[in-house]
């Protein structure tokens, strides 16, 4: 591995194209921190920046054979990172616009209409959606919301990382909310056109 430290980017790229894992490890070691701080500056979120950089290097490894031959590996990494950042920002904007639209829709509905939904029925629907989650996600979610365990306690019990616990709970909440949003729309439409 020490020999790779003296390689130029061009030499590392040549080795990488032939599937050399040690060359990839050196590229990763050489550029991870720089790419992370670039992504962090653009995104403003540590977890998003880390995820983006991991995705960047995974794509470098997966597409090693098609990386253009030039002497500017750092330029290639910056451009690829920039494109991934732009895509992520666009996805966030679409998500924000969608949530704003849902909020506007909910505000238009009268409180009396929403009160017609029986609380017990709603709890049964929520429980059904929880049971429909993928097994591991459901397990994490139930330990969090029903047994009131912390992320650390869940991570220790299931032998997974705190970050995985946080992501699984976030995904579960989003999935349940999405199903409930759809259900609420259907119920509201049914009540309005009854």
CATH of domain 110-192: 1.10.10.10
Measured CA to CA, the distance from residue 154 to residue 160 in angstroms comes to 8
pTM confidence score: 0.49
- In tens, the pLDDT along 21-66 reads 999 999 999 999 999 998 888 888 898 889 999 999 998 898 888 8
Q: Are 10 and 64 in contact (CB under 8 A)?
A: no
Q: Assess whether pLDDT exceeds 70 at residue 193.
A: no
Q: Assess whether pLDDT exceeds 50 at residue 125.
A: yes
Residues of the chain with CATH 1.10.1740.10: 2-90
Which tokens is 131 given?
Answer: 């049971």
The pLDDT confidence band at residue 74, using thresholds 50, 70 and 90, is confident
Considering the domain delimited by 2-90, tell me its CATH architecture.
Orthogonal Bundle (1.10)
- Which range has highest mean pLDDT (45-54, 71-80, 98-107)? 45-54
Residues of the chain with CATH 1.10.10.10: 110-192
Instruction: Give me the sign of the Cα torsion angle 124, 126, 130, 132.
Output: positive
Which tokens is 120 given?
Answer: 């017990």
Half-sphere exposure of 184 (CA within 13 A, CB side): 20
Which tokens is 164 given?
Answer: 């995985």
Question: Residue 123's CB: how many other CB atoms inside 10 A?
Answer: 10
Residue-level pLDDT at 30: 92
3-state per-residue secondary structure call for the chain: CHHHHCCCHHHHHHHHHCCCHHHHHHHHHHHHHHHHHHHHHHHCCHHHHHHHHHHHHHHHHHCHHHCCCCCCHHHHHHHHHHHHHHHHHHHHHHHHHHHHHHHHHHHHCCHHHHHCCCHHHHHHHHHHHHHCCCHHHHHHHHHHHCCCCCHHHHHHHHCCCHHHHHHHHHHHHHHHHHHHHHHHHHHHHHHHCC
């Amino acid at each position: 591995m020490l020999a790779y430290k003296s390689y130029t980017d061009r030499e590392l790229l040549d080795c990488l194209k032939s599937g050399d894992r040690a060359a990839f490890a050196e590229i990763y070691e050489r550029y991870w921190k720089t790419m992370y701080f670039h992504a962090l500056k653009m995104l403003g979120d540590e977890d998003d920046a880390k995820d983006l950089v991991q995705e960047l290097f995974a794509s470098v490894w997966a597409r090693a054979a098609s990386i253009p031959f030039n002497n500017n590996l750092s330029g290639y990494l910056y451009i690829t990172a920039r494109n991934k950042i732009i895509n992520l920002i666009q996805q966030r904007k679409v998500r924000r616009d969608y949530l704003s639209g849902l909020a506007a829709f909910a505000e238009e509905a009268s409180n009396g209409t929403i009160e017609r939904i029986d609380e017990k029925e709603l709890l049964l629907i929520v429980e059904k959606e929880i049971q429909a989650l993928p097994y591991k996600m459901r397990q994490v979610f139930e330990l969090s919301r029903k047994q009131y365990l912390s992320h650390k306690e869940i991570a220790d019990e299931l032998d997974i990382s705190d970050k995985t616990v946080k992501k699984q709970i976030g995904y579960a909440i989003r999935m349940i909310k999405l199903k409930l949003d759809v259900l609420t729309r259907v119920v509201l439409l049914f009540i309005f056109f009854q």
